[in-house]
Structure 1
Amino acid sequence: MNKNAIVPENDAARIDGRAFTHLPGSGADGVAHVPSTLDRVPVRGLDYSVRRWGPADAPVLFLLHGWMDSSPTFQFVVDALGKDWQLIAPDWRGFGGSTWLGHGYWFPDYYADLEVLLDHYAPGQAVRLVGHSMGAAVAGVYAGLRPARVAQLVMMDFLGLKPPPDAASPVLLRKWLDAQAQPPRLPVHEDSAALARRLQTVNPRLSAARAAFLARHVGRIGADGRVEMACDPWHKLPSPFVYRIEDVMACWRQVTAPTLMLFAEHGYVNERFATEPEALRQRLACFADHRVLTIADAGHNLQHDQPEAVAAALEAFLQRD
């Protein structure tokens, strides 16, 4: 682990030519945050940025962020934890400070990237995985592909996607092919304050202080001074493949780890399955050992809306032996 380049807290750095600011001990919001460090880890030909909080001799917990997000998304939960953990949160390829490809991404690469990271930080160990949204999608399938590798699993507000109504291969392939001609773009904001206002518009439960923190740490400043989310726009490219929940469920049926489903009261899972309780039951039944907990007064980003409740739920579930 010490072979990696570790960037100390409060320093500024440039990662892959882009400005990247590390989480300070306290920010403009006046809130004291648990400090983190950044490792640079080679992963399958890419340069991964991996954020770490907590003492190196504490039990290890991997935190896997969602789509169009990055590792600082877990800061509020980290701040609320009552016990010592060594928390390891990678920026997935194409997000945050990890390498951006500048072309399309293939989802199975995340399983392989995760395996390299687990071998690096916890060689030969069964690990604890906590994933939010896309991170939960990766963690859940990986736990089925490598059941002996995962000791405990937490899936935050995700239980599979809903196939689009036009999920026919010719249609999807044509959309994907058409999209190659025009590189995708992300919305650009005048400054971090404007991005913070946008985040609050999308999520009214987000406090002004937390919105300001996220705008500073999950955004990036361009050469013109304007701000956009620190995510490769090529993630917005439409998939050329039909999403088959049957394939995902087949992987879930191989999961042996005790699994906690953390749903948000007003989040994706409850909205998605409000009129399809049987579909929800079938998906949950894939996991041999699971329990469900709903976080009240939270939307899809429950780690932002109710981090104290999320932290309490994690520590009540996770074994530290």
Structure 2
Amino acid sequence: MKTIAILATAMLLGTGIRATPLPATHATTTYRYANVDGVRVFYREAGPKDAPTLVLLHGFPSSSRQFDSLIPLLATRYHLVAPDYPGFGQSDSPDPSKYPYTFDNLAKTTNGLLEQLGLKHYALYLHDYGGPVGFRIMLAHPERVDALIVSNANAYQEGLGKKWALIAGYWKDPKAHPDVFESFVSRDAAEKRHTLGTSHPERYHPDTWADEFAHLSQPGQRAIQSSLLFDYRNNVAAYPEWQAWLRKHKPPTLVVWGNNDPSFIGAGGEAYKRDVPDAEVHLLDAGHFPWDEQVDAIASLVLAFLDRRPRR
């Protein structure tokens, strides 16, 4: 059979017939850049542009790459945009003297990208650092947010795992606790953010944390990440404001939370129902990056949730 296939291919080539490449489908991801206030911002995009938009906001220390397995499963029915924040992934990493690395600034740049793309309505998918970025965008532009999807993006004091007590010491005096930051950006921490507590270690790709640690090891990253870790104290202080926004606006909310996450524990996912009583909450057998091992389940839940929403 192999010989026949080779001969058939040779005959086609001999007649001048060439294979026609398949056209791109809605699920095909494209990789783009935009200039936002002088910062080159990278973003992934997929899905039909006339469909409702879902903006995916990534966590630390990853990038929009963390959604690579999820995007094709959602892009058949929705328009997806997933940016890299400045200092992450393929976006520029401006010098901290020119671009202060605070969550206010990350949110401002991300919102600038969404406005540049002409997105007037969208659902937000928040993960980890995507929580403080997304909540700032929601507070500034509540009229644009059609729905909220949350995976291990904390907004409640009870959602903070044990390690946050050590980080609180770092917030009080960073110079007195250098070990906290060193542990935060270590290779061991990069791996355990994915694998700690997992029931399915065979589903985890080692290149993921190897690449994340390689990024953290680049020149300038220590200054960037130490600034953001220190600024994270302002996110915890803002929890009451975020909760008040949820109570006031009550956006349609889906929580798909990795229940084995030692950083943002399951109680933080359940707490969303306190301010959005109709929130749909699913605590999954997964870790901090839940789609690493539950991508099919999460895609099914997200599609069912979004399909129930009225389309603008």
Q: Same fold (TM over 0.5)?
A: yes
Which structure has greater helix proportion? 2
Change (3 A) 1:270 1:73: closer
Deviation at 1:209, TM superposition (A): 6.8
Distance 1:250 1:35 in 2: 38
Counterpart in 1 of 2:114? 118
Counterpart in 1 of 2:281? 292
Q: Secondary structure at the match of 1:47?
A: strand
Larger radius of gyration: 2
Deviation at 1:306, TM superposition (A): 0.4
Distance 2:173 2:136 in 1: 28
Distance 1:240 1:269 in 2: 17
Q: CA RMSD in A?
A: 3.9
Is 1:135 the equivalent of 2:133? Answer: no
The answer as to whether partners of 1:144 and 1:252 remain within 8 angstroms in 2 is no
Instruction: Compare 103-112 and 86-95 and name the one that shifted more.
Output: 103-112
Listed as ranges, the matches of 1:240-319 within 5 Å are 242-243=233-234, 245=236, 247-255=238-246, 256=249, 257-268=251-262, 271=265, 273=267, 284-287=273-276, 289-295=278-284, 297-318=285-306, 319=309
Counterpart in 2 of 1:48? 41
Which structure has greater strand proportion? 1
Q: Secondary structure at the match of 2:55?
A: strand
Counting matched residue pairs gives 265
Listed as ranges, the matches of 1:67-106 within 5 Å are 67-81=60-74, 83-103=76-96, 105-106=101-102
Change (3 A) 1:287 1:64: same
Listed as ranges, the matches of 1:174-193 within 5 Å are 174-175=173-174
Distance 2:185 2:289 in 1: 20
Deviation at 1:258, TM superposition (A): 1.3
Deviation at 1:117, TM superposition (A): 1.9
Counterpart in 1 of 2:230? 239
Task: Select 1:149's aligned residue among 125, 144, 148.
Answer: 144
**What is the letter of the counterpart of residue 50 of structure 2?**
D
Map Cα deviations across residues 262-307 of structure 1 (whole Å, 9 max, x no partner): 222312577364xxxxx87766423465231222x21111021100
Counterpart in 2 of 1:17? none
Distance 1:243 1:254 in 2: 17
**What is the letter of the counterpart of residue 110 of structure 1?**
L
Q: Secondary structure at the match of 1:239?
A: helix
Deviation at 1:241, TM superposition (A): 7.3
Change (3 A) 1:230 1:258: farther
Q: Secondary structure at the match of 2:131?
A: helix
Counterpart in 1 of 2:208? 214
Identity %: 21
Deviation at 1:248, TM superposition (A): 2.2
Distance 1:207 1:251 in 2: 34
Distance 1:65 1:79 in 2: 16
